[in-house]
Amino acid sequence: MTTRTEPKTHSGSKALTRVGGIAAAAVAASLIWTLAVPVLGVDLTVTSIGGTAPQTVDLVAIVIATVAVSLVGWGLLALLERRGKGRVWTFIAVAVMVLSLASPLLAAGPVDARITLGLLHVVVGAIVIPAFRRGVPA
């Protein structure tokens, strides 16, 4: 008689790690915004590529964008994991993060604002990508 042992999955802890990654990214982005805007006086008013009117990026927009983009990334990862292609997600996530840098870096506005926004993209990606990657089969 043979017994088959199913590999243990820790989907609850994996989900908790990913939620923690989203929360940590939102907190880190909030800290960067707080340091840049109220403390250092950076004016986060930029005109997006192809945009006509300048937009001020406030703390609420940063937190909402961080959570929304992270949830979309999680959804894609879940879809890929179900198909046994979870490893591909990392490459997609890094590519999306790198491509997302075009928005702040090519926007019209003060250099310090564009650098701050680019830093926000990198920091959020540097937190979310490893947090989501954890637990994906090698």
Q: Which of 9, 8, 128, 1 is closest to 77 using CA atoms?
A: 128
Cα–Cα distances (Å) from 93 to 1, 11, 36, in that order, read: 45, 21, 26
Q: Is the pLDDT of residue 2 over 80?
A: no
Question: CA-to-CA distance for 66 and 62, rounded, in angstroms?
Answer: 6
Kindly report, residue by residue over 50-102, the tens digit of the pLDDT.
878 999 999 999 999 999 999 999 999 999 999 989 889 999 999 999 999 99
Instruction: Give the amino acid at 47.
Output: T
| Phi, psi angle pair for 47, to nearest 5° | -105, 120
Q: Which of 83, 98, 94, 85 is closest to 130 using CA atoms?
A: 94
Average pLDDT, rounded, for the chain? 90
